[in-house]
A and B are shown apart, each in its own frame.
Chain A
Amino acid sequence: MTPDDRKYSKEHEWALVDGNVATVGITQFATESLGDVVFVDLPEVGSAIEQFGKFGEIESVKAVSDLFSPVSGTITERNDSTIDDPETVNKSPYGDGWLLKIELSDASQLDDLMAAADYDKLTAEEA
Protein backbone atom coordinates (compact mmCIF):
# COMPACT_ATOMS: atom_id res chain seq x y z
CA MET A 1 0.00 0.00 0.00
CA THR A 2 1.23 3.45 -0.87
CA PRO A 3 0.81 5.56 2.29
CA ASP A 4 -1.71 8.38 1.78
CA ASP A 5 -0.18 10.62 4.47
CA ARG A 6 2.40 12.06 2.04
CA LYS A 7 2.89 13.33 -1.52
CA TYR A 8 4.76 11.88 -4.48
CA SER A 9 6.82 13.03 -7.46
CA LYS A 10 7.00 11.55 -10.96
CA GLU A 11 10.62 10.68 -10.19
CA HIS A 12 9.42 8.27 -7.46
CA GLU A 13 10.33 10.31 -4.39
CA TRP A 14 7.96 11.09 -1.54
CA ALA A 15 7.64 14.02 0.88
CA LEU A 16 5.98 13.79 4.30
CA VAL A 17 5.35 17.25 5.69
CA ASP A 18 5.30 18.10 9.40
CA GLY A 19 5.06 21.82 10.04
CA ASN A 20 7.67 23.46 7.86
CA VAL A 21 9.85 20.35 7.44
CA ALA A 22 9.50 17.63 4.81
CA THR A 23 10.93 14.16 5.29
CA VAL A 24 12.01 12.82 1.89
CA GLY A 25 12.61 9.31 0.58
CA ILE A 26 12.06 7.05 -2.42
CA THR A 27 8.99 4.94 -3.08
CA GLN A 28 8.58 1.21 -2.82
CA PHE A 29 8.04 1.12 -6.59
CA ALA A 30 11.49 2.72 -7.00
CA THR A 31 13.18 0.27 -4.63
CA GLU A 32 11.57 -2.68 -6.41
CA SER A 33 12.68 -1.38 -9.81
CA LEU A 34 16.23 -0.84 -8.54
CA GLY A 35 16.63 -4.15 -6.74
CA ASP A 36 19.08 -4.51 -3.86
CA VAL A 37 20.39 -1.02 -2.96
CA VAL A 38 24.13 -1.13 -2.23
CA PHE A 39 25.15 2.53 -2.29
CA VAL A 40 23.55 5.82 -1.25
CA ASP A 41 25.19 9.22 -1.71
CA LEU A 42 23.53 12.20 0.02
CA PRO A 43 24.48 15.89 0.42
CA GLU A 44 25.64 17.47 3.68
CA VAL A 45 23.29 18.95 6.27
CA GLY A 46 22.94 22.68 5.57
CA SER A 47 22.98 22.28 1.77
CA ALA A 48 20.28 24.03 -0.23
CA ILE A 49 18.38 21.95 -2.76
CA GLU A 50 15.89 22.79 -5.49
CA GLN A 51 12.58 21.12 -6.27
CA PHE A 52 13.08 18.44 -8.95
CA GLY A 53 16.85 19.11 -8.84
CA LYS A 54 19.36 16.28 -8.43
CA PHE A 55 20.52 15.89 -4.83
CA GLY A 56 22.26 12.52 -4.74
CA GLU A 57 22.67 9.06 -6.17
CA ILE A 58 21.34 5.65 -5.31
CA GLU A 59 22.91 2.54 -6.73
CA SER A 60 21.82 -1.07 -6.84
CA VAL A 61 23.90 -4.05 -7.91
CA LYS A 62 22.64 -3.55 -11.44
CA ALA A 63 22.12 0.20 -11.95
CA VAL A 64 22.74 3.79 -10.81
CA SER A 65 19.91 6.31 -10.42
CA ASP A 66 19.93 10.01 -9.61
CA LEU A 67 17.86 11.22 -6.69
CA PHE A 68 15.62 14.26 -7.33
CA SER A 69 14.18 16.35 -4.53
CA PRO A 70 10.38 16.69 -4.41
CA VAL A 71 10.74 20.09 -2.68
CA SER A 72 13.10 23.09 -2.39
CA GLY A 73 14.74 24.01 0.88
CA THR A 74 17.64 23.49 3.24
CA ILE A 75 18.71 20.10 4.56
CA THR A 76 18.29 19.92 8.33
CA GLU A 77 18.92 16.19 8.81
CA ARG A 78 20.46 13.34 6.84
CA ASN A 79 19.71 9.68 7.50
CA ASP A 80 23.25 8.30 7.69
CA SER A 81 21.95 4.82 8.45
CA THR A 82 21.01 4.55 4.76
CA ILE A 83 24.63 5.35 3.86
CA ASP A 84 26.01 2.76 6.30
CA ASP A 85 23.31 0.14 5.56
CA PRO A 86 21.84 0.87 2.12
CA GLU A 87 19.53 -2.17 2.35
CA THR A 88 17.51 -0.12 4.87
CA VAL A 89 16.04 1.65 1.83
CA ASN A 90 14.75 -1.68 0.45
CA LYS A 91 13.48 -2.89 3.80
CA SER A 92 11.60 0.25 4.76
CA PRO A 93 11.29 2.80 1.96
CA TYR A 94 8.51 4.74 3.74
CA GLY A 95 9.92 4.38 7.27
CA ASP A 96 13.52 3.79 8.45
CA GLY A 97 14.75 4.20 4.87
CA TRP A 98 13.97 7.94 4.69
CA LEU A 99 16.86 9.97 3.24
CA LEU A 100 16.64 13.67 4.20
CA LYS A 101 14.69 16.18 6.24
CA ILE A 102 14.30 19.47 4.39
CA GLU A 103 13.15 22.82 5.76
CA LEU A 104 10.74 24.04 3.10
CA SER A 105 11.49 27.33 1.35
CA ASP A 106 8.14 27.33 -0.47
CA ALA A 107 5.29 25.22 0.91
CA SER A 108 3.17 25.93 -2.19
CA GLN A 109 5.45 23.56 -4.14
CA LEU A 110 3.61 20.66 -2.50
CA ASP A 111 0.78 21.40 -4.93
CA ASP A 112 3.08 20.20 -7.75
CA LEU A 113 3.21 16.72 -6.20
CA MET A 114 0.75 13.83 -6.47
CA ALA A 115 -1.53 12.20 -3.95
CA ALA A 116 -1.00 8.46 -3.30
CA ALA A 117 -3.90 7.41 -5.55
CA ASP A 118 -2.53 9.41 -8.50
CA TYR A 119 0.96 8.06 -7.93
CA ASP A 120 -0.42 4.51 -7.94
CA LYS A 121 -2.05 5.22 -11.31
CA LEU A 122 1.29 6.47 -12.67
CA THR A 123 3.19 3.39 -11.52
CA ALA A 124 0.47 1.06 -12.80
CA GLU A 125 1.10 2.59 -16.24
CA GLU A 126 4.90 2.30 -15.92
CA ALA A 127 4.89 -1.27 -14.63
Chain B
Amino acid sequence: MVPFAGWEMPLNYPGGIISEVKAVRSRAGMFDVSHMARLRFSGPGAVSFLDTILSANIVDMKTGRSKYHVICDEDGGIIDDALVYRIADEECLLVINAGNADEVIGWIKPRLEAHGNVQMFNYTDQVGMIAVQGPEAAAILDKVSETPVSAIKPFRIAEVSVAGAHMRAARTGYTGEDGFEVMPPREALQKVWTAFRDAGVEPCGLGSRDVLRLEAGLMLHGTDITRDNNPYEAGLERFVHITSPGYVAHDALARLRAQGTHRTMVGFKMIGRGIPRHGQAISKSGEAVGIVTSGTHSPTLDANIGMGYVDRRFAAVSTRFEIDVRGRLIEAEVTPLPFYSSRNI
Protein backbone atom coordinates (compact mmCIF):
# COMPACT_ATOMS: atom_id res chain seq x y z
CA MET B 1 0.00 0.00 0.00
CA VAL B 2 1.23 3.50 -0.78
CA PRO B 3 -0.14 6.93 0.15
CA PHE B 4 -1.75 8.61 -2.87
CA ALA B 5 -3.49 12.01 -2.73
CA GLY B 6 -4.63 11.39 0.84
CA TRP B 7 -5.74 7.79 0.15
CA GLU B 8 -4.05 4.50 0.90
CA MET B 9 -3.82 2.68 -2.44
CA PRO B 10 -2.32 -0.64 -3.53
CA LEU B 11 0.65 -0.28 -5.88
CA ASN B 12 0.01 -3.85 -6.93
CA TYR B 13 -1.74 -7.01 -5.79
CA PRO B 14 0.27 -10.20 -5.05
CA GLY B 15 0.46 -11.27 -8.73
CA GLY B 16 2.62 -8.24 -9.56
CA ILE B 17 2.43 -5.35 -12.00
CA ILE B 18 3.28 -7.30 -15.17
CA SER B 19 0.67 -9.99 -14.47
CA GLU B 20 -1.93 -7.25 -13.94
CA VAL B 21 -1.01 -5.53 -17.23
CA LYS B 22 -1.35 -8.85 -19.06
CA ALA B 23 -4.72 -9.55 -17.42
CA VAL B 24 -6.13 -6.22 -18.64
CA ARG B 25 -4.73 -6.66 -22.16
CA SER B 26 -5.88 -10.27 -22.56
CA ARG B 27 -8.93 -10.72 -20.27
CA ALA B 28 -10.14 -8.24 -17.66
CA GLY B 29 -8.72 -6.39 -14.68
CA MET B 30 -10.26 -3.93 -12.26
CA PHE B 31 -9.10 -0.87 -10.39
CA ASP B 32 -10.69 0.70 -7.34
CA VAL B 33 -10.67 4.34 -8.48
CA SER B 34 -12.94 5.59 -5.72
CA HIS B 35 -10.23 8.14 -4.85
CA MET B 36 -11.06 10.14 -7.98
CA ALA B 37 -13.31 13.06 -7.08
CA ARG B 38 -16.87 12.97 -8.38
CA LEU B 39 -18.76 16.26 -8.64
CA ARG B 40 -22.39 16.67 -9.68
CA PHE B 41 -23.62 19.90 -11.24
CA SER B 42 -27.35 20.52 -11.42
CA GLY B 43 -29.94 23.24 -11.69
CA PRO B 44 -31.00 25.60 -14.47
CA GLY B 45 -27.95 26.71 -16.44
CA ALA B 46 -25.70 23.88 -15.17
CA VAL B 47 -24.68 22.82 -18.67
CA SER B 48 -24.00 26.32 -19.97
CA PHE B 49 -22.03 27.03 -16.76
CA LEU B 50 -19.80 23.98 -17.39
CA ASP B 51 -19.26 25.21 -20.94
CA THR B 52 -17.67 28.35 -19.43
CA ILE B 53 -15.10 26.36 -17.40
CA LEU B 54 -14.39 23.15 -19.36
CA SER B 55 -12.74 22.80 -22.76
CA ALA B 56 -15.52 20.46 -23.93
CA ASN B 57 -18.66 21.68 -25.63
CA ILE B 58 -21.41 20.18 -23.49
CA VAL B 59 -24.47 22.15 -24.64
CA ASP B 60 -24.29 20.23 -27.92
CA MET B 61 -23.61 16.88 -26.22
CA LYS B 62 -26.61 14.61 -25.83
CA THR B 63 -27.75 13.26 -22.48
CA GLY B 64 -26.09 9.92 -21.70
CA ARG B 65 -22.79 10.82 -23.33
CA SER B 66 -19.36 11.76 -22.01
CA LYS B 67 -16.30 13.64 -23.17
CA TYR B 68 -12.64 13.81 -22.21
CA HIS B 69 -11.44 17.40 -21.84
CA VAL B 70 -9.13 19.71 -19.92
CA ILE B 71 -9.86 22.35 -17.31
CA CYS B 72 -7.77 25.42 -18.15
CA ASP B 73 -7.24 28.56 -16.11
CA GLU B 74 -7.54 32.05 -17.60
CA ASP B 75 -3.89 31.79 -18.77
CA GLY B 76 -4.54 28.56 -20.66
CA GLY B 77 -2.62 26.41 -18.13
CA ILE B 78 -4.06 22.96 -17.49
CA ILE B 79 -5.47 22.68 -13.94
CA ASP B 80 -6.69 19.14 -14.56
CA ASP B 81 -7.93 16.75 -17.21
CA ALA B 82 -11.28 15.07 -16.64
CA LEU B 83 -14.29 13.25 -17.99
CA VAL B 84 -17.65 14.99 -18.01
CA TYR B 85 -20.87 12.97 -18.28
CA ARG B 86 -24.23 14.52 -19.16
CA ILE B 87 -26.76 12.52 -17.12
CA ALA B 88 -29.83 14.73 -17.60
CA ASP B 89 -30.83 17.84 -19.50
CA GLU B 90 -29.43 20.06 -16.75
CA GLU B 91 -27.26 17.63 -14.81
CA CYS B 92 -23.64 16.56 -15.32
CA LEU B 93 -21.02 14.49 -13.53
CA LEU B 94 -17.43 15.65 -13.52
CA VAL B 95 -14.75 13.11 -12.55
CA ILE B 96 -11.44 14.76 -11.67
CA ASN B 97 -8.05 13.58 -10.38
CA ALA B 98 -7.85 13.05 -6.61
CA GLY B 99 -4.63 15.02 -6.29
CA ASN B 100 -6.18 18.07 -7.95
CA ALA B 101 -9.60 17.93 -6.32
CA ASP B 102 -9.06 20.72 -3.77
CA GLU B 103 -7.48 22.98 -6.38
CA VAL B 104 -10.20 22.37 -8.97
CA ILE B 105 -13.07 22.77 -6.50
CA GLY B 106 -11.45 25.93 -5.09
CA TRP B 107 -11.10 27.29 -8.61
CA ILE B 108 -14.68 26.47 -9.61
CA LYS B 109 -16.41 27.89 -6.49
CA PRO B 110 -15.94 31.63 -7.14
CA ARG B 111 -16.87 31.14 -10.80
CA LEU B 112 -20.00 29.29 -9.74
CA GLU B 113 -21.18 32.19 -7.57
CA ALA B 114 -22.09 34.18 -10.65
CA HIS B 115 -24.48 31.36 -11.64
CA GLY B 116 -26.78 31.36 -8.61
CA ASN B 117 -29.10 28.57 -9.79
CA VAL B 118 -26.35 26.01 -10.40
CA GLN B 119 -25.39 23.67 -7.56
CA MET B 120 -22.11 21.81 -7.26
CA PHE B 121 -22.25 18.71 -5.06
CA ASN B 122 -19.14 16.72 -4.18
CA TYR B 123 -20.40 13.18 -3.69
CA THR B 124 -17.03 11.41 -3.78
CA ASP B 125 -17.71 9.88 -0.35
CA GLN B 126 -21.23 8.68 -1.22
CA VAL B 127 -20.39 6.59 -4.29
CA GLY B 128 -17.33 4.56 -5.12
CA MET B 129 -15.91 3.86 -8.56
CA ILE B 130 -14.52 0.64 -10.03
CA ALA B 131 -12.94 0.54 -13.49
CA VAL B 132 -13.32 -2.89 -15.14
CA GLN B 133 -11.07 -2.96 -18.19
CA GLY B 134 -10.13 -5.51 -20.82
CA PRO B 135 -11.44 -7.35 -23.87
CA GLU B 136 -13.65 -9.60 -21.70
CA ALA B 137 -14.97 -6.75 -19.49
CA ALA B 138 -18.29 -6.41 -21.33
CA ALA B 139 -19.08 -10.14 -21.30
CA ILE B 140 -18.18 -10.47 -17.62
CA LEU B 141 -20.24 -7.43 -16.62
CA ASP B 142 -23.25 -8.82 -18.43
CA LYS B 143 -23.00 -11.95 -16.30
CA VAL B 144 -22.79 -10.03 -13.02
CA SER B 145 -25.44 -7.44 -13.93
CA GLU B 146 -29.19 -7.61 -13.97
CA THR B 147 -29.18 -5.21 -16.95
CA PRO B 148 -27.24 -5.67 -20.22
CA VAL B 149 -24.22 -3.44 -19.55
CA SER B 150 -22.66 -4.36 -22.91
CA ALA B 151 -25.46 -2.41 -24.63
CA ILE B 152 -23.82 0.82 -23.42
CA LYS B 153 -21.74 2.21 -26.28
CA PRO B 154 -18.26 3.74 -25.85
CA PHE B 155 -18.30 7.13 -24.08
CA ARG B 156 -21.90 6.64 -22.94
CA ILE B 157 -23.30 6.37 -19.44
CA ALA B 158 -26.44 4.59 -18.24
CA GLU B 159 -28.17 3.40 -15.08
CA VAL B 160 -27.70 -0.29 -14.39
CA SER B 161 -28.12 -2.86 -11.66
CA VAL B 162 -25.01 -4.82 -10.71
CA ALA B 163 -24.88 -7.50 -8.00
CA GLY B 164 -28.23 -6.27 -6.74
CA ALA B 165 -27.22 -2.61 -6.43
CA HIS B 166 -28.40 0.31 -8.53
CA MET B 167 -25.66 2.51 -10.03
CA ARG B 168 -24.37 4.35 -13.07
CA ALA B 169 -22.01 2.64 -15.50
CA ALA B 170 -20.00 4.38 -18.22
CA ARG B 171 -18.07 2.77 -21.05
CA THR B 172 -14.93 4.75 -20.33
CA GLY B 173 -11.51 4.05 -18.84
CA TYR B 174 -7.82 4.85 -18.68
CA THR B 175 -6.12 1.77 -20.09
CA GLY B 176 -6.63 1.81 -23.86
CA GLU B 177 -8.88 -1.25 -23.58
CA ASP B 178 -12.60 -1.60 -23.85
CA GLY B 179 -14.16 -1.38 -20.42
CA PHE B 180 -16.47 0.29 -17.96
CA GLU B 181 -16.37 2.53 -14.95
CA VAL B 182 -19.17 1.69 -12.53
CA MET B 183 -20.17 3.94 -9.62
CA PRO B 184 -21.81 1.86 -6.88
CA PRO B 185 -23.16 3.41 -3.70
CA ARG B 186 -20.44 3.28 -1.08
CA GLU B 187 -22.21 0.61 0.97
CA ALA B 188 -22.37 -1.70 -2.11
CA LEU B 189 -18.77 -1.12 -3.22
CA GLN B 190 -17.26 -4.17 -1.58
CA LYS B 191 -20.09 -6.45 -2.73
CA VAL B 192 -19.68 -5.31 -6.35
CA TRP B 193 -15.88 -5.68 -6.19
CA THR B 194 -16.26 -9.21 -4.83
CA ALA B 195 -18.80 -10.10 -7.53
CA PHE B 196 -16.38 -8.95 -10.24
CA ARG B 197 -13.51 -10.86 -8.63
CA ASP B 198 -15.60 -14.02 -8.37
CA ALA B 199 -16.43 -13.63 -12.08
CA GLY B 200 -12.70 -13.72 -12.91
CA VAL B 201 -11.71 -10.06 -13.03
CA GLU B 202 -8.16 -9.58 -11.72
CA PRO B 203 -7.66 -6.88 -9.05
CA CYS B 204 -5.08 -4.32 -10.26
CA GLY B 205 -3.21 -1.49 -8.55
CA LEU B 206 -1.71 1.90 -9.33
CA GLY B 207 1.47 0.44 -10.83
CA SER B 208 -0.22 -1.42 -13.68
CA ARG B 209 -2.65 1.46 -14.21
CA ASP B 210 0.31 3.74 -14.90
CA VAL B 211 1.89 1.28 -17.35
CA LEU B 212 -1.43 0.71 -19.17
CA ARG B 213 -2.24 4.39 -19.56
CA LEU B 214 1.26 5.13 -20.84
CA GLU B 215 1.09 2.28 -23.38
CA ALA B 216 -2.21 3.83 -24.53
CA GLY B 217 -0.59 7.27 -24.81
CA LEU B 218 -2.87 8.79 -22.17
CA MET B 219 -1.65 11.76 -20.14
CA LEU B 220 -1.23 11.78 -16.37
CA HIS B 221 -1.91 15.20 -14.87
CA GLY B 222 0.87 16.36 -12.56
CA THR B 223 3.35 14.26 -14.56
CA ASP B 224 2.78 14.84 -18.30
CA ILE B 225 0.58 17.91 -18.07
CA THR B 226 0.59 20.61 -15.41
CA ARG B 227 -0.59 24.17 -14.96
CA ASP B 228 2.62 25.20 -16.79
CA ASN B 229 1.48 23.39 -19.95
CA ASN B 230 -1.18 24.37 -22.42
CA PRO B 231 -3.33 21.86 -24.34
CA TYR B 232 -1.73 22.67 -27.70
CA GLU B 233 1.82 21.70 -26.74
CA ALA B 234 0.41 18.64 -24.93
CA GLY B 235 -1.17 17.41 -28.17
CA LEU B 236 -4.68 17.76 -26.71
CA GLU B 237 -5.99 20.21 -29.30
CA ARG B 238 -8.74 17.86 -30.42
CA PHE B 239 -10.28 18.01 -26.94
CA VAL B 240 -10.36 21.80 -26.88
CA HIS B 241 -13.44 23.72 -28.01
CA ILE B 242 -12.98 27.38 -27.17
CA THR B 243 -15.97 29.09 -28.75
CA SER B 244 -18.57 28.38 -26.05
CA PRO B 245 -20.07 31.70 -24.83
CA GLY B 246 -18.18 33.02 -21.82
CA TYR B 247 -15.43 30.37 -21.88
CA VAL B 248 -12.90 31.59 -19.31
CA ALA B 249 -9.80 30.39 -21.17
CA HIS B 250 -10.95 31.59 -24.60
CA ASP B 251 -8.61 34.56 -24.93
CA ALA B 252 -5.50 32.78 -23.66
CA LEU B 253 -6.12 29.63 -25.72
CA ALA B 254 -6.92 31.62 -28.88
CA ARG B 255 -3.67 33.52 -28.45
CA LEU B 256 -1.64 30.37 -27.72
CA ARG B 257 -3.12 28.62 -30.73
CA ALA B 258 -2.30 31.55 -32.99
CA GLN B 259 1.24 31.82 -31.64
CA GLY B 260 1.99 28.14 -32.02
CA THR B 261 4.17 26.34 -29.53
CA HIS B 262 7.91 25.73 -29.77
CA ARG B 263 7.70 22.41 -27.92
CA THR B 264 5.35 19.49 -28.33
CA MET B 265 4.54 16.18 -26.67
CA VAL B 266 5.97 13.10 -28.40
CA GLY B 267 6.13 9.40 -27.71
CA PHE B 268 9.44 7.57 -28.09
CA LYS B 269 10.89 4.09 -27.85
CA MET B 270 14.36 3.39 -26.52
CA ILE B 271 16.83 2.08 -29.08
CA GLY B 272 19.64 1.52 -26.58
CA ARG B 273 19.35 -0.30 -23.26
CA GLY B 274 17.67 1.76 -20.55
CA ILE B 275 14.30 2.73 -19.15
CA PRO B 276 13.39 6.43 -19.41
CA ARG B 277 11.96 8.09 -16.30
CA HIS B 278 10.16 11.35 -15.47
CA GLY B 279 12.45 14.40 -15.44
CA GLN B 280 15.33 13.00 -17.51
CA ALA B 281 16.86 15.35 -20.08
CA ILE B 282 16.50 14.81 -23.85
CA SER B 283 19.37 16.00 -26.03
CA LYS B 284 20.41 15.90 -29.67
CA SER B 285 24.13 16.01 -30.49
CA GLY B 286 24.80 17.65 -27.12
CA GLU B 287 22.06 20.28 -27.44
CA ALA B 288 19.28 20.19 -24.81
CA VAL B 289 16.03 19.69 -26.77
CA GLY B 290 13.50 18.38 -24.27
CA ILE B 291 12.48 16.54 -21.12
CA VAL B 292 10.94 13.14 -20.36
CA THR B 293 7.57 13.34 -18.56
CA SER B 294 6.77 9.60 -18.30
CA GLY B 295 8.65 6.41 -19.00
CA THR B 296 8.43 2.72 -18.24
CA HIS B 297 9.05 -0.77 -19.44
CA SER B 298 6.08 -1.85 -21.56
CA PRO B 299 5.34 -5.55 -21.04
CA THR B 300 2.82 -5.47 -23.90
CA LEU B 301 5.31 -4.17 -26.46
CA ASP B 302 8.37 -5.67 -24.75
CA ALA B 303 10.04 -2.29 -25.18
CA ASN B 304 11.08 0.65 -23.06
CA ILE B 305 8.85 3.62 -23.86
CA GLY B 306 8.33 7.20 -22.81
CA MET B 307 6.63 10.50 -23.49
CA GLY B 308 8.02 13.98 -23.20
CA TYR B 309 8.17 17.50 -24.51
CA VAL B 310 10.67 18.20 -27.27
CA ASP B 311 11.55 21.12 -29.49
CA ARG B 312 9.28 20.90 -32.55
CA ARG B 313 12.32 20.48 -34.81
CA PHE B 314 12.84 17.03 -33.28
CA ALA B 315 9.24 15.87 -33.03
CA ALA B 316 8.79 14.07 -36.36
CA VAL B 317 8.28 10.30 -36.24
CA SER B 318 11.60 8.40 -36.62
CA THR B 319 13.66 11.33 -35.33
CA ARG B 320 16.37 10.07 -32.99
CA PHE B 321 17.70 11.77 -29.86
CA GLU B 322 19.37 10.80 -26.60
CA ILE B 323 17.91 10.41 -23.13
CA ASP B 324 20.13 11.03 -20.10
CA VAL B 325 19.39 7.90 -18.07
CA ARG B 326 21.24 8.61 -14.82
CA GLY B 327 24.37 9.82 -16.56
CA ARG B 328 24.30 7.52 -19.59
CA LEU B 329 23.10 8.92 -22.93
CA ILE B 330 20.78 6.31 -24.44
CA GLU B 331 19.40 6.62 -27.96
CA ALA B 332 15.63 6.84 -28.47
CA GLU B 333 13.37 7.23 -31.50
CA VAL B 334 10.12 9.19 -31.87
CA THR B 335 7.15 6.87 -32.48
CA PRO B 336 3.48 7.65 -33.07
CA LEU B 337 1.13 7.81 -30.07
CA PRO B 338 -0.51 5.73 -28.81
CA PHE B 339 2.13 3.01 -28.46
CA TYR B 340 -0.65 0.47 -28.17
CA SER B 341 -4.22 0.39 -29.43
CA SER B 342 -6.69 -2.36 -28.77
CA ARG B 343 -8.38 -4.23 -31.58
CA ASN B 344 -11.40 -4.42 -29.34
CA ILE B 345 -12.38 -0.73 -29.35
Measured CB to CB, the residues of A under 8 A from B are: 35-36, 38-39, 41, 57, 59-62, 64, 87
Contacts and interface: CB of A to CB of B under 8 A. Distances in A.
Contacts of A60: 17
Interface residues of B, number: 16
Contacts of B207: 35, 61-62
A8 B141 CA distance: 49
Given A36-B16, A39-B297, A62-B11, 20 more contacts: A35-B11, A35-B12, A35-B16, A35-B17, A35-B207, A36-B17, A38-B18, A38-B275, A38-B297, A39-B274, A59-B297, A60-B17, A61-B17, A61-B211, A61-B297, A62-B17, A62-B207, A64-B275, A64-B277, A87-B18
Which among A35, A36, A39, A87 has the greatest number of chain B C-beta atoms within 10 A?
A36
B16 A59 contact: no
B8 to A, nearest CB: 17
A33 B140 CA distance: 33
26 contacts: A35-B11, A35-B12, A35-B207, A36-B16, A36-B17, A38-B18, A38-B297, A39-B273, A39-B274, A39-B297, A39-B304, A59-B275, A59-B297, A60-B17, A61-B17, A61-B18, A61-B207, A61-B211, A61-B296, A61-B297, A61-B299, A62-B11, A62-B17, A64-B275, A64-B277, A64-B326
Interface string B260-301: 000000000000011101000000000000000000110100
A39 B303 CA distance: 11
The residue among B275, B277, B296 with the most chain A CB atoms within 10 A of its own CB is B275
A61 B207 CA distance: 8
Contacts, number: 38
B11 A39 contact: no
Interface of B: 11-12, 16-18, 207, 211, 273-275, 277, 296-297, 299, 304, 326
A87 B296 CA distance: 16
A59 B330 CA distance: 16
Nearest to A41: B273
A62 to B, nearest CB: 5
B251 to A, nearest CB: 42
A91 to B, nearest CB: 12
Contacts of A41: 273-274
B78 to A, nearest CB: 26
A86 to B, nearest CB: 9
Nearest to B16: A36
Contacts of A39: 273-275, 297, 304
A36 B18 contact: yes
A47 B17 CA distance: 34
Nearest to B211: A61
From B16, B296, B304, name the one whose CB has the most chain A CB atoms within 10 angstroms: B16
A53 B193 CA distance: 47
Contacts of B274: 39, 41
A17 to B, nearest CB: 30
B77 to A, nearest CB: 29
A61 B214 CA distance: 12
A11 B277 CA distance: 23
B272 to A, nearest CB: 11
B331 to A, nearest CB: 16
B299 to A, nearest CB: 8
A60 B17 CA distance: 10
